Amino acid sequence: MNNLNHVRDQFKALTQTVNGKPLVYLDSAATSLKPQVVVDRITQFYSYETANVHRGAHFLADQGTMNFESARTTVKNFLNASSTEEIIFTKGTTDGINMVAECYGMNFLKENDEIVLTELEHHANLVPWQNLAQKKNLKIKYISVQPNGELDLSNLDQIITTKTKLVAFSGCSNILGTFIPVDIIIKKAQSVNAVTLMDAAQVVAQKPINVQALGVDFLVFSAHKLFGPFGFGVLFGRKELLEKMPPYQFGGNMISEVNYDKTTYNNLPYKFEAGTPHVEGAIGTEAAIRFFLGLGYNQIFEHEQDLLNYGTTSLQSIPEIKIFGEAKDKAPIISFNLTGAHHSDVGQILDKQGIAVRVGHHCTQPLLKKFGLTGTVRASFSIYNTREDVDKLVEGIIKAKRMLL
């Protein structure tokens, strides 16, 4: 596929009705729908290729190993990592962050060291660091967010200092849609020799990622937000850091030699991949990446930005709608409330019309509390959405307004 004209044809989920209405799926920030090429690739594996990888002595095992490691090479090229040794397969973004917190943070951060986060972070990039800080007596500092959803970088020199040993940040806010100026944050962290971790869960399907150009030390993402399978993700880590970090879990595959009194560990990346791996997750992710790249970053970005702009303008035509997050550089995510109505009630009414949105705190409770909120309605757009979907959302909100206000 080389354009978006027929992209909806790849997504069978969009052919169904919900509550008697054609499905309008506006929850891609939570998870993207899966294209048929990914479904078919996983079905092919389960139907004809089922075998455990590595060390097998038969055709299916050899084939599975080849496909599994082909996926690693595809991910390596997708991120422009310098080596497949830097690509660790995980259960997802959360797993990758916890791995870094446990294997790097617990071993290389010391009492009174400082960790810097942003106020925009998903709980997955906040709670692991809080847990680490409690165990190691560390201090956490935050880069604050402004009312429009952009980060306040005016006092970055006072937040990231020589005491800072790790800076963790998202590439894009999952609720406000704000694209983070990651290059500025990474450069500042490098100036004080702090290690950096980028949560790329929301940005991976938006913009190209070049870990070498960024200079980031760790980067994590989940396949299910990139049109791939659930339960699979990637941790990129600089080789020199991964080599000195101890394993995350212990068992088969991550070993070199085991004796009753001592065990030596496998080389990278396998040192961090204990047990039978998520083989279909890897090959499904490879199919998803190939599908995604075949569409073209520029076309995807232009299409989704058009939906963002059209959706923002359309929603602003309803006086009772309050949109949260108005950054200049923003992903196709719109969080809003209907003044006078509870977000959950709005979501239920939209669902009755076949419109799938996300409601609640979106795993960003501290950020919402700062804005004086308990939750919002979130509509998020992807490659398979159209302006007609936006129009149906607006119609649904107008109906909710009539029923609730």
356 has a pLDDT exceeding 90: yes
Residue 1: inside a domain, yes or no?
A: no
Residue 358: inside a domain, yes or no?
A: yes
Q: Whole domain around residue 277: which residue ranges?
A: 40-293
6 has a pLDDT exceeding 90: no
Domain boundary residue among 238, 265, 293? Answer: 293
Work out the average pLDDT over 369-377: 96
- Provide long-range contacts, Cβ within 8 A and 24+ apart, for 213-220: 213/80, 214/182, 214/183, 214/186, 215/186, 215/187, 215/190, 216/182, 216/186, 217/241, 218/96, 218/100, 218/104, 219/79, 220/90, 220/93, 220/96, 220/97, 220/100
Alpha carbons 229 and 31: distance in angstroms, whole number: 10
**Residue 178 confidence (pLDDT):** 98
Q: Same structural domain for residues 261 and 279?
A: yes
Domain boundary residue among 241, 264, 293? Answer: 293
Strand-pair partners of 47: none
Alpha carbons 89 and 101: distance in angstroms, whole number: 16
Q: Same structural domain for residues 214 and 265?
A: yes
The model's confidence at residue 398, banded by pLDDT at 50, 70 and 90, is: very high
**Residue 55 confidence (pLDDT):** 80
The lowest-confidence range among 37-41, 58-62, 209-213, 226-230 is: 58-62
**Residue 4 confidence (pLDDT):** 75
Strand-pair partners of 233: 90, 222
Residue 68: inside a domain, yes or no?
A: yes
Alpha carbons 382 and 394: distance in angstroms, whole number: 17
Q: Same structural domain for residues 155 and 12?
A: no
Q: Each residue of 217-253: pLDDT tens digit?
A: 999 999 999 999 999 999 999 999 999 999 999 999 9
Which residues make Cβ contacts (< 8 Å) with residue 136, sequence separation at least 6?
A: 105, 106, 109, 110, 111, 113
Q: Same structural domain for residues 279 and 324?
A: no
Contact 257, 275 (CB under 8 A): no
Work out the average pLDDT over 197-209: 97
CATH label of the domain that carries residue 393: 3.90.1150.10
Residue 126: inside a domain, yes or no?
A: yes
Q: What's the token pair of residue 281?
A: 């997750």
**Residue 3 confidence (pLDDT):** 63
Residue 283: inside a domain, yes or no?
A: yes
Please measure the distance between the N-terminal and C-terminal CA atoms of the chain and give it in whole angstroms. Answer: 46
Alpha carbons 398 and 346: distance in angstroms, whole number: 10
Q: Give the start-end residues of each E strand in 223-269.
A: 233-237, 255-258, 263-265
Q: Same structural domain for residues 251 and 349?
A: no
Element housing 121 (H / E) = none
Q: Same structural domain for residues 300 and 289?
A: no
pTM above threshold 0.85: yes
Q: Same structural domain for residues 26 and 170?
A: no
177 has a pLDDT exceeding 60: yes
Place of tokens 């003044």: 339
Q: What are phi and psi of 107, to 5 degrees?
A: -100, -20
Work out the average pLDDT over 179-202: 98
Specify the pairing of strand 263-265 against strand 255-258. Answer: antiparallel
Q: What's the token pair of residue 49?
A: 């290729």
Domain boundary residue among 293, 315, 333? Answer: 293
Residue 2: inside a domain, yes or no?
A: no
Residue 35: inside a domain, yes or no?
A: no
**Residue 2 confidence (pLDDT):** 45
Q: Same structural domain for residues 48 and 181?
A: yes
Q: Same structural domain for residues 140 and 197?
A: yes
Q: How many domains does the chain have?
A: 2
Q: Same structural domain for residues 20 and 60?
A: no
Count of Cβ atoms closer than 10 Å to residue 393 Cβ = 24
Q: Same structural domain for residues 287 and 303?
A: no
Q: Same structural domain for residues 269 and 354?
A: no
Active site residues: 363
Q: What's the token pair of residue 322?
A: 């309050």
CA distances from 263 to 103, 249, 255, 266, 267 (A): 18, 13, 7, 10, 13
CATH label of the domain that carries residue 170: 3.40.640.10
Residue 251: inside a domain, yes or no?
A: yes
Q: What's the token pair of residue 134?
A: 């409690």
Q: Each residue of 283-342: pLDDT tens digit?
A: 999 999 999 999 999 999 999 999 999 999 999 999 999 999 999 999 999 999 999 999
